[in-house]
Every structure is written in C-alpha cells, then in structure tokens.
Amino acid sequence: MTVRPAVAADVPAVAALERDNLGVDAWPEGLVAEGLTGRLPTVTYLVAEVEGTVVGHAVASVVADIAELQRIAVDPAHRRTGLASELLDAVVLAARDGGADRLLLEVREDNAGAISFYAARGFVEIDRRRRYYRDGATAVVMRRGLGPACGGG
C-alpha cells in the first residue's frame, strides 16, 4: 500500500469513492476536480493505492494553525487493513507541515466505529452540531492536538 498526494488523473477514482462511501453527502466530481487540480489552495487530497489502484482517500484543509480532516474514505474491500490509519497519519503529517497545531473533524454521531477509530488515535469530542448532515443527523466534532500549544507534543 502507498499513500501519496492525489493528482488530476485520480479524480474519477476519488469521486467514485465519495459516491460509494458517503452517499448523499458525497462531493460531486466537479468539486473533487477543483481540489485535486489545486484550485482550492488550502485543501490537500491524499490517495491510498494498492497494486496501482486507488482504494482510499483523505482530504484535509490547513488554514493558519487549524487543520480540518474533511474526508476519509476506504473501499469496503480494503477496510480493517490499516489503510485508514495510514491515510490519517499522512493527514497529521501534512497538517503539522502546514503549521497547524490542532486537527479537527466531524463524524456522524451514529457512526460508533468511526468515533472509536478517531478516539483510539488521540481525538476527543469537543462539540456537537445538530442537523449537520443532509438527513438531519448530528455531527460529533472531535479534536486532536498536534503541537505543544494544543497538547500534541
């Protein structure tokens, strides 16, 4: 498995992962293309490949000292293989390199598996956003410190 910065040729694969993993909350292919071609300057796309096939992606935004994990998705056939952890590690590195001292994310409150995944990697709940998702579900806001000022050493 390899994690690398995404390139324009990855747009179809990333858009398909969005559709397959995020359903009605998926970003359209046009928005994915905007990010992958550098037209969104604060956004970084990473992809995970297995044998040359894109099977996961992560999207992060870094603005000043705050990074936000906007997306992480893994093809169902490749889940529980460490791929999401590798993507998250790459996001943390990119956030630190970008000068962020904390990493934020939102996760559906009904997604216990994802909440446990992030908690096991140092994220703590800091807030909730009611009716955040299109279907009215609540988002749990989580934070992980990345630098000394935010407890991330």
Task: List, for residues 15-42, the tens digit of each pLDDT value.
Answer: 999 999 888 889 999 999 999 888 888 9
- Residue 149: pLDDT band with limits 50, 70, 90: low
CATH number of the domain residue 44 falls in: 3.40.630.30
Per-residue model confidence (pLDDT) at position 153: 56
What is the Cα–Cα distance from 94 to 111, expressed in whole angstroms? 25
Total number of domains in the chain: 1
- Residue 143: pLDDT band with limits 50, 70, 90: very high
Question: Structural domain of residue 115, as residue ranges?
Answer: 2-150
Task: List, for residues 82-107, the tens digit of each pLDDT value.
Answer: 999 999 999 999 999 999 999 999 99
Task: List, for residues 52-78, the tens digit of each pLDDT value.
Answer: 999 999 999 999 899 999 999 999 999
Per-residue model confidence (pLDDT) at position 24: 82
Of the candidates 64, 55, 59, which has an alpha carbon nearest to the alpha carbon of residue 34? 59
Q: In the predicted model, is pLDDT for residue 151 greater than 80?
A: no
Q: In the predicted model, is pLDDT for residue 126 greater than 60?
A: yes
